[in-house]
Chains A and B, each alone.
Chain A
Amino acid sequence: MKKISVEHLARVEGSGGITATIDGKVVTDVKFTINEGPRLVERLTVGKTPEEDVNLVPRICAICTLSHKYAAIRAMENALSVKVPTKVHLFRELMHLGEMIESHSLHVYYLALPDYVGFPNAIAMASQFDLEVKIALEMKEFGNHIMKTASGRYIHGENPVIGGFGKFPTKEELLWIKSRAIQFMPFVLKTVNLFCELDYPDCPEDNTVYACCNPPKNKYGFTGDEIILSTGATINKEDYKSLTNEFVVSHSYAKHSCYQGKPYSVGALARVNNLGERLKGKAGKMYSKYFGPRWKRNPLFNNAAQALEILYTFERIPRLLDELLKYPEDPPLVKYSAKKGKGTGIVEAPRGLLIHSYEVAEGLVSHTDIITPTAQNAEDIERYCYIAAQRLLENRKEDKIRDRMDLVVRAFDPCISCSAHLAEVKKAPQDDWKEKLEEVKKKGSPIYVGVGKRTRSDDGLGMELALKLRNRGISDVWLEHEIAQRGGPWRNKHHRPLVFLDAVDFREEPGKIVLLPLHYVFSNTNLSHKLLPFISGEMHYERLKNSYVLGIQPESVQEGKKMSKPVRLSMAKVLVQIVN
């Protein structure tokens, strides 16, 4: 067994690493780790006013600061029924485009390009690409300038607030931005050519599902009220959890996400894949010229997609400013009186779909959920690194694995500071489940929920146990298929504990019993399905704290096989303990 790892990923935002474990000729595991410490941002916002929340959450990340602000404002305005005038919408779009330019030009030229032309950093690269490095810096500065004009400063500007802006720029400032945007066009076109013509390695390549905001009116753009997938499906923003299904993993401070049990990707490549046909003008022409089947399968093309989006942005800005200039009057902040509400806001951060969801009660935030793009990409980052490592190993290019994984991770333009959900879980503890069950019972009479599939040998144990409990006269027992009809017991906040009964693979002896808090649902236990991670993602914090999994290590979960003997014995033990 041997490990190949990049301990500190360089030229990314924040601190993280990637490790592949190799056993002979097989890559057994790839893990994307996040080294940032716990910040508890979501908890921090609870009890704050909506305005304070909008001040605080952009601090999650400096490079996506305005995307966080935008998503938070959209969510809050949605929750509190605040309607802002057109000029506010247009100016918000401008600030967001500024961030796209700033972040994309930093990433493609400074973080990504050095790899493809053989330099350790962009400054060293300047010896050979003098002009590119200099103009790209100017382009990045232009993005920063827009952000500063709109928000008040480069990073964490406070000008955008719920209900509008504290202050709007003058006509002269807007006209300057317009003329400067036009000046950049020749370099922007060169940028697209450069990044679309780079020689991207064909390893790793594989299909995935791409997700992004669906901008209204069949336009390209970076906001919307629904999510569109490359499968053609759309999801209303309030139902975002049916896309993200967040779950905790054991090796990273960020939660991971899966859609229908599979990894998916967000980011510029997702947007170009899903919305590219909607591009018009020069960006539309470049799309027709360069877009091809490899863009659908190869994450490295995210660099090309970002270059294409830089072009879209530079074409959009002059038109947007013409529209903005039609509104000479600066609208005052929209006042609102709502003290409670619930709402979600979605925007595209430069590196992908960003979701903020809030509940406000008595004028204060009572629940916060923030899902960042890098957290959503984590599963696909690992999967693509796995594919790359395995193929290089088969082709006897083991020495290339480290650098290739580095390249793949960087292509996703990860933003590690953004991992707002910081969590880490260790392997199943060796606690005595009987004692724990008694403790749970002390909190209130538990509701037992049997989950699993009865045709798949030991996976049927949850359902089997639940049915047996019912036969013994225990009344509060639910079966998996009844959950939907009853609306899900986790939706209410009452304080009776929930105990899920399920086969849980800890890689222990078959029949081993454990009782775990539900948020111990982790990746190195192989749950029979993704139902529990899904449910735990849907839960209110208070509910989650009072939910548990009573798991038994299965021997086999093969279709059609009978239940194994050790599992049967353990089931009997559990039954006795619960009934008594």
Chain B
Amino acid sequence: MEKDKKEKLKIGIYELTGCAGDALLILDCEKELLDIFNAADIHSFLMAKSDNIDGELDIAFVEGSVSTEKEKKELLDLRKRAKVVVAIGICACFGGIQAAFQSQEEWRKNFKAVYGDVKMTHTKPVQSKPIDSYTPELYRFPVCVECKWNENDCLLNKGIPCLGPITSAGCGSVCINHNLPCVGCWGPLEGANLSSEFQLLRDYGFDHDFIKKKMANFSGTGMADFLGKIEGDKK
């Protein structure tokens, strides 16, 4: 085991604000977990180990979204230390539910509703939002594709508000397999036909605001432009 230590990749797994589910999912690889720890040098993994090192890394996996100034600093530091930074999960890629508030104004309003005029002494809060550019890997098709593979009946045809057509695949269309509509939790699909989905749901008689909120539940800032536009159309 010692001899090949030099060739091992130095990996760190980091958690920003979120449900910590992506880090947990790595621990959920029960059968492979010992192999993973043997195959790579896990330099940092706060959920799993105490002896963490802050050094240079080959790969940093980051989950969660930046929600405080401290986290922003941490992420920028990681960017310097790691050759490759990989965003894992919807929070890291799109902001997650933390980013469901449409505008900064709306976020501020809700922040104030919870915290009042309190000045944070700990670390300044920031609104989660996507970075300027990123390269989505894999799944350049919607949940519908997987849903067809699984030979499900289309729920939209039955008038059930399903977000499958505008959501990135990868989950194996798990909700529709369970006779339930897609809630959009894997984030928006690049290039999806948002206005068509919107119109379809309108045709089925769903309320303008209901559809807008539904589309924003998990992918808020990811489709902020579109949602802003339809708001404009309404006016």
Contact stretch, chosen from B4-12, B138-146, B178-186: B178-186
Contact of B119 among A47, A110, A423, A426 (CB under 8 A): A426
Given the contacts A38-B67, A52-B214, A520-B118, A138 and B49 also touching, CB distance less than 8 Å: no
Which of A37, A43, A120, A541 has the most B CB atoms < 10 Å from its CB?
Answer: A37
B34 touching A126, Cβ below 8 Å: yes
A144 touching B30, Cβ below 8 Å: yes
Contact stretch, chosen from A8-16, A195-203, A337-345, A446-454: A8-16
B21 touching A141, Cβ below 8 Å: no
Q: Chain B 62-104, CB within 8 Å of chain A: the 1/0 string?
A: 0000111011000000000000000000000000111011000
Task: For B21, list chain A residues within 8 Å (CB).
Answer: 62-63, 65, 155-156
Q: Chain A 40-54, CB within 8 Å of chain B: the 1/0 string?
A: 111110011100100
**How big is the B interface, by class?**
35 or more
Given the contacts A37-B71, A62-B24, A140 and B114 also touching, CB distance less than 8 Å: no
A48 to B210, CA, bound (A): 8
Given the contacts A11-B49, A110-B48, A426-B118, A166 and B67 also touching, CB distance less than 8 Å: no
A138 to B19, CA, bound (A): 24
A153 within 8 A of B: yes
Name A129-173 residues within 8 Å CB distance of B.
133-134, 137-138, 140-141, 144, 152-159, 161, 165-167
B192 within 8 A of A: no
B217 touching A48, Cβ below 8 Å: yes
Contact of B111 among A38, A417, A520, A545 (CB under 8 A): A38
A59 to B27, CA, bound (A): 18
Least CB distance, B39 to chain A, in whole angstroms:
12
Contact stretch, chosen from B169-177, B195-203, B222-230: B169-177
Q: Chain B 36-62, CB within 8 Å of chain A: the 1/0 string?
A: 010000000011111110000000000
Task: For A39, list chain B residues within 8 Å (CB).
Answer: 17, 67, 97-98
B46 touching A8, Cβ below 8 Å: yes
A158 touching B24, Cβ below 8 Å: no
Given the contacts A11-B50, A61-B20, A417-B18, A154 and B28 also touching, CB distance less than 8 Å: yes
Name A188-211 residues within 8 Å CB distance of B.
none
Given the contacts A38-B67, A426-B121, A10 and B50 also touching, CB distance less than 8 Å: yes
A154 to B178, CA, bound (A): 14
A426 to B120, CA, bound (A): 7
Least CB distance, B22 to chain A, in whole angstroms:
8
A220 to B27, CA, bound (A): 29
B114 touching A52, Cβ below 8 Å: no
A40 to B70, CA, bound (A): 18
Task: For B233, list chain A residues within 8 Å (CB).
Answer: none
A517 touching B116, Cβ below 8 Å: yes
A393 within 8 A of B: no
Least CB distance, B201 to chain A, in whole angstroms:
14
A225 within 8 A of B: no
A36 touching B28, Cβ below 8 Å: no
Task: For B114, list chain A residues within 8 Å (CB).
Answer: 38, 40, 42-43, 422-423
A157 touching B48, Cβ below 8 Å: no
A361 within 8 A of B: no
Task: For B67, list chain A residues within 8 Å (CB).
Answer: 36-39
A122 to B45, CA, bound (A): 12
A541 to B15, CA, bound (A): 31
A10 touching B46, Cβ below 8 Å: yes
B183 touching A43, Cβ below 8 Å: no
B125 touching A545, Cβ below 8 Å: no
B180 touching A159, Cβ below 8 Å: yes
Least CB distance, B19 to chain A, in whole angstroms:
4
Given the contacts A137-B30, A423-B115, A253 and B183 also touching, CB distance less than 8 Å: no
B150 within 8 A of A: no
Least CB distance, A439 to chain B, in whole angstroms:
12
Least CB distance, A165 to chain B, in whole angstroms:
8
A253 to B123, CA, bound (A): 10
A38 to B123, CA, bound (A): 11
Task: For B148, list chain A residues within 8 Å (CB).
Answer: none
Considering the complex of A and B, which 9 residue pairs feature the smallest CB-CB distances, nearest first? A37-B67, A62-B21, A121-B49, A166-B178, A120-B51, A166-B180, A141-B30, A37-B68, A37-B17
Which B residues are closer than 8 A to A by beta carbons?
15-22, 24-25, 27-28, 30-31, 33-34, 37, 46-52, 66-68, 70-71, 96-98, 100-101, 110-111, 113-123, 125-126, 171, 174-175, 177-180, 183, 185, 210, 213-214, 217
Can you list 20 A-B contacts with CB-CB less than 8 angstroms, sorted by A residue number?
A37-B98, A39-B98, A40-B98, A41-B97, A42-B114, A44-B100, A60-B19, A62-B22, A62-B25, A123-B49, A133-B34, A137-B34, A141-B28, A158-B174, A158-B175, A159-B178, A166-B180, A424-B121, A424-B122, A426-B119
Assuming A152-B177, A417-B19, what are 16 further A-B pairs, CB within 8 angstroms?
Answer: A11-B47, A11-B49, A14-B20, A37-B16, A37-B66, A60-B19, A121-B49, A122-B48, A123-B34, A137-B30, A141-B31, A152-B178, A158-B174, A158-B183, A517-B116, A520-B118
